[in-house]
Amino acid sequence: MEETVIVEETQSVGPQTVAITMQSPSALTAEPGQFLRVTATIDDEEYSRFYTISSPDVDDTIEITVGIDPSDSGPFSQYLGDIESGSELSIAGPFGQHYYENSNRAVVLAGGPGIGPAVGIGDAADAAGQEVAIIYVSETATPAHRTRLNALADSGNDITIFTTASDSQSGVVPPEFNDAVADIITGKPAEQPFVYGFEDFITAATDALETADVNPDEAKIENFGWYNVCRWSSRWLHDQITISYTI
């Protein structure tokens, strides 16, 4: 079911990256790590994309983090990059099964746009008094959500940031990545690994987990690639058709 929401605040949280805070619908139940279908009409044409929740909860407001690449962004990304408080958006969801469920220790491996769910899960775990460890591989020299990552580090959590992995062994992660992953894996029974990013990062991260003697099947993994966008778009459309038919 789609809901119309009002944008309360927008904030630059890094190079070409904005966090958009919206009023949360009263009936919405969602967890960090899940994502929403966001829709807007621009010049009489409707656009939709999926964005992961980057707020630790959705009690009063809900936040998404949007990256805008000027060389590759379409009208919708540009629109969201310039959106102002008071604007309306439509949201549907949440989607996704790989979200935070109050595990005793969350280990988040995030690449590029994976920073959104990483800080959402990190803040949720920290607020619940649980441990969190985050390794973030930024695609830019200045990482997004640096303020929130620093706050988590100041609270005693394990936060590791790598930037611009141009000299990496895979083109996606730096050479130190596997060792960093091994260092934050404790083997505690309630430790839950999460992996968020594009497919190349997912491959590098699951390889690192295997090297650290962690079964990748035990990790909660969300691939932000185009195939998965299409998969969730199809599922959303199927749900709408089913709802319409049932009614």
Average confidence score pLDDT of the chain: 87
Which CATH number fits the domain that encloses residue 179?
3.40.50.80
Q: Please give the residue range of the domain that contains residue 19.
A: 3-95
**Residues 148 and 187 reside in one and the same domain:** yes
Asked whether the whole model's pTM tops 0.85, one would answer yes
Joined tokens for residue 216: 């990748």
Q: Is residue 233 part of a domain?
A: no
**Residues 58 and 136 reside in one and the same domain:** no
pLDDT of the residue at 68: 85
pLDDT of the residue at 148: 98
Which CATH number fits the domain that encloses residue 49?
2.40.30.10
pLDDT of the residue at 242: 35
**Residues 207 and 115 reside in one and the same domain:** yes
Q: Is residue 100 part of a domain?
A: no
pLDDT of the residue at 73: 66
**Residues 91 and 129 reside in one and the same domain:** no
**Spans of the chain below 70 pLDDT:** 1, 71-73, 164-171, 226-247
pLDDT of the residue at 134: 98
Length of the chain: 247
Q: Is residue 245 part of a domain?
A: no
Report the C-alpha gap between 148 and 68 in whole angstroms.
20
pLDDT of the residue at 171: 56
